[in-house]
Structure 1
């Protein structure tokens, strides 16, 4: 069966190679990935997948499936780029890996049963759409979600940061600044919020980190800034801890608003990111299949301080998010132009196809071994 998938995937190399290059050459901003979405959907349709475009009324999202029985194994695609910079984190190659896995699995799905599912998840750099999909129940009848991310090292799936993207807006007085020298402004309130936050950070839980910017503070010194706002990324190892810090930050803003008599409001300007919960049994299974397909040197579970939108999915269904080395020059750093260029190298493509086959083999193991699938689900429900 594995040989059948290997042989079939080899016939798809040109299509997948061309798609990876096309995504690289035509980077698109979050929620504007129209060309990428069309290209991916066309490829899946040409291989017999039933494709629903404009999924959940998200213009650049899709839901593709082949097969009609359980278990249902899902691969995710992310295909937005960093505005003005391109595919610095390799979303073009992540999508290629997921598509390769889905095509390989689709070759044997009619013989072994189950369903291969591919979901297009736009807007990853702006919080992503996975939280919307979770709230809409998209993953409730899926048995496992498998994603492999291109990187500078190969590692098992680990954890990620929980992130609360909080916006604080203050509304104060308006008028000419030279006629209102003694008036507190909304900008005064935001700057005071920053100062108090910096003073009390030592009292936050140890693993909390707060990143912030002044996102609005007036447009000319001639006028009092009537509206000012700040945006914060509150990071922690777990969402419950991040929410403790969020509540403290809200308390600071409320205190400041009363002290200098300005109005306040709070909002989340992106979708929050839950921490990733890796299914360890699924992790070991994928690592075994990765070695079977030629990638032997696999590091320990990789924990990252960035947010991953798959985190919220991992609290709904068993998930893994391992990392696959796609570089030959170990001087290249992740998230750089050099890394982006490496995603279209021959070495990166070869590594990606090995990862695709490992994902597909993992899916086959779950579909054909009910005991193994139950073990993975038992672990998941114990972790919840």
Structure 2
């Protein structure tokens, strides 16, 4: 079968299933669920592929809200990643409902040509991208071991074929002091909340010397219970980001010293605990990204140029860890959110609007056609298979 013929089939499949895919996107959007608790969303993401005959493994990697759904038995194993967790308070302000529905559409389309292309289609339900690192945990458990290449997309304010992201780590910092009456005997206390203040001032002063791409941001999660009691315990959650893992490690060392400064200045004890696996920066496969860019242009989109791609990393994602290990892409498909960007309430509303619905359909078409190109390009197919063989042998 020619590339054009297979490409036509997958596009027709997605467009034929338009109402089902849009309904799936809206249903997940209407019932937002947080990391590791996406029980309804996980089930919804499996329903259409189960009907199509995919073999489903629930709780993939030991995670209750993860799954692995397989179709076909070809040598080239293609992973399609679906995310479906939401954010506290603002729901699907990152548009993971669009990600899930487009991934399902991609998997359904590729199932229709799996035998002809000699591929195995693996739809991966990956929970807890916003907090928890579901893909990292699944990789560590071996769920990605046989996957030769992995694809997914993410909605955003622009069309970006070769999207970048930042490496990320998150910690919980706890200060332990001593309670005392704030008026009667304040000198008997050790103020844990003051330790947070000192640490945050130190981080604020450090910003002038942070390298390009490095950033830190956090919130106070525990700061005391009453104004007339010196807090004996205080906590803050902090996120650190950088252009790459090496720069992130350097930043972590400097921020750790700022945390220590708070403890030393106030006499408090402190501890620092990672709250989830570290996220690596995206390393998108150039060939796959270039093909996806061609698909964007073909459907009438206007992806930003390479100079803009390089200048604007968009947040952080555990898909970065996947692309460090195997060929993959994580393009951004633009939706009209009235100028809003991800993690804003207006973007959550737009994620169930007409523009987002088009992103679901066009996104699935573009991903599926990109995989078809890979499967039918002998040199590129051999490249990803050879890399998979080396990884399996290591």
Structures share fold, TM-score greater than 0.5: yes
Residue pair 2:200, 2:258 contacting (<8 A) in 1 also: no
Q: Does 1:70 align with 2:75?
A: yes
Instruction: Give how far 1:282 is off.
Output: 1.3
Determine helix, strand or coil for the equivalent of 2:110.
helix
Q: Which shifted more, 334-343 or 29-38?
A: 334-343
Q: How far apart are the structure 1 equivalents of 2:58 and 2:263?
A: 46
1:67-105: CA deviation from partner (whole Å, max 9, x where unpaired): 123211111111122223222221111111111111110
Determine helix, strand or coil for the equivalent of 2:161.
strand
Q: Does 1:354 align with 2:359?
A: no
Q: Does 1:248 align with 2:254?
A: yes
Q: How far apart are the structure 2 equivalents of 1:205 and 1:346?
A: 40
Residue pair 2:177, 2:192 contacting (<8 A) in 1 also: yes
Q: 1:90 aligns with which of 88, 91, 95?
A: 95
* Change over 3 Å in CA distance of 1:153–1:219 after alignment to 2: same
Residue pair 2:173, 2:271 contacting (<8 A) in 1 also: yes
Determine helix, strand or coil for the equivalent of 2:165.
coil
What aligned pairs does 1:193-212 form with structure 2 within 5 A after superposition?
193-212=199-218
Q: Which shifted more, 272-281 or 361-370?
A: 361-370
Instruction: Give how far 1:49 is off.
Output: 0.6
User: Who is 1:372 aligned against?
Assistant: 380
Residue pair 1:98, 1:356 contacting (<8 A) in 2 also: yes
Q: How far apart are the structure 2 equivalents of 1:72 and 1:130?
A: 17
Normalized against structure 2, the TM-score is what?
Answer: 0.88
Task: Give unmatched runs, 5+ long, in structure 2.
Answer: 1-5
Determine helix, strand or coil for the equivalent of 1:115.
strand
Q: How far apart are the structure 1 equivalents of 2:365 and 2:57?
A: 25
Q: 1:265 aligns with which of 259, 267, 271?
A: 271
1:226-265: CA deviation from partner (whole Å, max 9, x where unpaired): 1112221112111211221211222233344345432111
Determine helix, strand or coil for the equivalent of 2:180.
coil
What aligned pairs does 1:151-300 form with structure 2 within 5 A after superposition?
151-182=156-187, 183-292=189-298, 294-300=299-305
Count of residues in correspondence between the two structures: 379
Task: Give unmatched runs, 5+ long, in structure 1.
Answer: none
* Change over 3 Å in CA distance of 1:300–1:201 after alignment to 2: same
Normalized against structure 1, the TM-score is what?
Answer: 0.90
Instruction: Give how far 1:283 is off.
Output: 0.6
Q: How far apart are the structure 1 equivalents of 2:210 and 2:282?
A: 22
User: Who is 1:319 aligned against?
Assistant: 328
Instruction: Give how far 1:208 is off.
Output: 1.7
Q: How far apart are the structure 2 equivalents of 1:61 and 1:9?
A: 24
Q: Does 1:344 align with 2:345?
A: no
Residue pair 2:57, 2:69 contacting (<8 A) in 1 also: yes
Residue pair 1:71, 1:366 contacting (<8 A) in 2 also: no
Residue pair 1:127, 1:272 contacting (<8 A) in 2 also: no
Instruction: Give how far 1:115 is off.
Output: 0.6
Q: How far apart are the structure 1 equivalents of 2:345 and 2:265?
A: 47
User: Who is 2:150 aligned against?
Assistant: 145
Q: How far apart are the structure 1 equivalents of 2:21 and 2:289?
A: 25
Q: How far apart are the structure 2 equivalents of 1:344 and 1:173?
A: 49
Q: Does 1:308 align with 2:308?
A: no
Instruction: Give how far 1:335 is off.
Output: 4.0
Q: How far apart are the structure 2 equivalents of 1:152 and 1:259?
A: 44
Instruction: Give how far 1:173 is off.
Output: 1.7
